[in-house]
Amino acid sequence: MSELRFDDVTVRYGTARRPFTAVDGVSLTVPEGQVVGLVGESGSGKSTLARAAVGLAPLHSGEILLGGQPVPRRGRVRPLQMVFQDPFSSLDPRMTIGESITEPMPPGPGRAERRAEVERLLTLVHLDPDVAGALPGRLSGGQRQRAALARALAGQPKVVIADEITSALDVSIQGAVLNLVRELQRELGLSMLFISHNLAVVRYVASHVAVMYQGRIVEQGPVSEVLVDPQHAYTRELLAAVPGSRPPTHARPARSTS
């Protein structure tokens, strides 16, 4: 099982006298083989939650479990891999694309096998294998984000965390990257926590959605339910911002809200 579960997770910064709670008692599950969307405005705590999952933000309390076991915070092999918003900053500008993709690979295979795996991964994300020899600065934003996805997959993760991976791209490129995410999920059975401020994007790639506001999950459930009949006022505000959407003005108590 590769189910990722956040169990009453809290992340705090600052001092004991002046603490700041960025994530407040969040419980969320990413089932094996599914894409769960985490949506909320900037500052809602969703990226902090993602960083906590991969060990980049300290937990104040709660647990993050993968397959029922605590997510390992040390070691070269990481079962969670993260794709960041800005692919240029997440790819070392001094390393070729091939070197960046090779870096997180599990130890063992020889040089020829690793080179073949780099070519396979680049083809998987619809890049010419020849870009393995290029530096990130030679690629477009969309190409760099595809390379970042290939790099994440090279680590053979149980779960991929995608943090606003289309928000820095041109609108014309966003759709292609989202189609790639759907394709990878379908072909690989990929488990993914997909973070975005855009409900329309989440609706396109995810089967379940969780809405985060001021560090808390205020509503979660199947996309087909939450986005058709939102229960929380903040969810309705987000949905109203999506062109062509007309969320109901009143909601009936039903799904998980807080």
Read off the pLDDT of residues 35-61 as tens digits, 9 standing for 90 and up.
999 999 999 999 999 999 999 999 999
pLDDT of residue 258: 53
- pLDDT at residue 74 tops 80: no
- pLDDT at residue 159 tops 70: yes
The mean pLDDT of 214-234, rounded to a whole number, is: 94
Q: What is the DSSP letter of 4?
A: E
Task: Return the CATH superfamily for domain 1-79+199-258.
Answer: P-loop containing nucleotide triphosphate hydrolases (3.40.50.300)
How far apart are alpha carbons 45 and 217 in whole angstroms?
Answer: 10
Q: CA neighbours within 13 Å on the CB side: how many for 216?
A: 10
How far apart are alpha carbons 128 and 118 in whole angstroms?
Answer: 11
Q: Please answer whether residues 193 and 162 qualify as being in contact, where contact means their C-beta atoms are separated by less than 8 angstroms.
A: yes
How far apart are alpha carbons 26 and 5 in whole angstroms?
Answer: 10
How far apart are alpha carbons 83 and 94 in whole angstroms?
Answer: 19
Closest Cα to residue 99, out of 46, 56, 61, 135? 135
81-140 tens-digit pLDDT: 999 988 777 789 999 999 999 999 988 778 899 999 999 999 999 999 999 999 999 999
Q: Which residues pair with 219 in a beta bridge?
A: 211, 257
Closest Cα to residue 206, out of 172, 243, 160, 145? 160
Q: What is the DSSP letter of 169?
A: S
Q: Please answer whether residues 83 and 162 qualify as being in contact, where contact means their C-beta atoms are separated by less than 8 angstroms.
A: yes
Contacts of 17 (CB under 8 A, 6+ apart): none
How far apart are alpha carbons 175 and 233 in whole angstroms?
Answer: 29
Residue 33 in tokens: 């083989």
Q: Please answer whether residues 202 and 223 qualify as being in contact, where contact means their C-beta atoms are separated by less than 8 angstroms.
A: yes
Write down the domain spans for the chain: 1-79+199-258
Q: Tell me which residue has tokens 């809405």.
A: 211
Q: Please answer whether residues 159 and 193 qualify as being in contact, where contact means their C-beta atoms are separated by less than 8 angstroms.
A: yes
3-state secondary structure of 117: helix
pLDDT of residue 245: 59
